[in-house]
Amino acid sequence: MPLRARRRRTVLAALAPLTAAALLTAAPPASAADTWTEAGSDRADALTESQGLTSVEVPAGAANRYTGIGTIPVGVSGRGWNHIGDPDASYDGHYIEPYQRDDGTTKMFRVQAPGGTWSEYVHTLGPGEARNNSWVAVTPGGQWMLAGEYGTMSRLLVFPTPGVNPGTSPSANLPQASTVRLDHAVRDVQGCDFVTATRLLCSSDDPAGTLFGITKPLLQVDLSAEPNGTADVTGHVTALRQLPLRSSCSGTFETEGIDYDRRTGTLRVIVLSPGFCVLTDSKTYRFTRS
Percent of the chain whose predicted confidence (pLDDT) is above 90 = 85
Q: Encode pLDDT of 226-242 as tens digits.
A: 999 999 999 999 999 99
Which value, in Å, is the radius of gyration of the alpha carbons in the chain?
A: 18
Residue 212, domain CATH: 2.120.10
* 102 pLDDT tier (thresholds 50, 70, 90): very high
What integer best gives the mean pLDDT of the chain?
91
Q: How large is the average pLDDT for residues 199-205?
A: 98
Q: How large is the average pLDDT for residues 157-179?
A: 98
Given a cut of 60, is residue 20 above it in pLDDT?
Answer: no
pLDDT greater at residue 263 or residue 5 = 263
Confidence at residue 8, expressed as pLDDT on a 0 to 100 scale: 55
Which domain, by its residues, includes 25? 3-289
Confidence at residue 19, expressed as pLDDT on a 0 to 100 scale: 34
Confidence at residue 23, expressed as pLDDT on a 0 to 100 scale: 32
Q: Kindly state the DSSP code that residue 273 receives in the 8-state scheme.
A: P
Q: How large is the average pLDDT for residues 258-286?
A: 97
Domains: count for the chain: 1
Separation between Cα atoms, residue 246 and residue 123, nearest integer Å: 37
Residue 90: alpha-carbon gap to chain centroid = 15
Given a cut of 60, is residue 205 above it in pLDDT?
Answer: yes
Given a cut of 70, is residue 210 above it in pLDDT?
Answer: yes
For the chain, list the strands marked E by DSSP.
36-43, 52-54, 65-67, 83-84, 88-89, 95-100, 106-112, 118-124, 135-138, 144-148, 152-160, 178-187, 189-196, 199-204, 217-223, 233-242, 254-261, 266-272, 283-289
* 16 pLDDT tier (thresholds 50, 70, 90): very low
Given a cut of 70, is residue 4 above it in pLDDT?
Answer: no
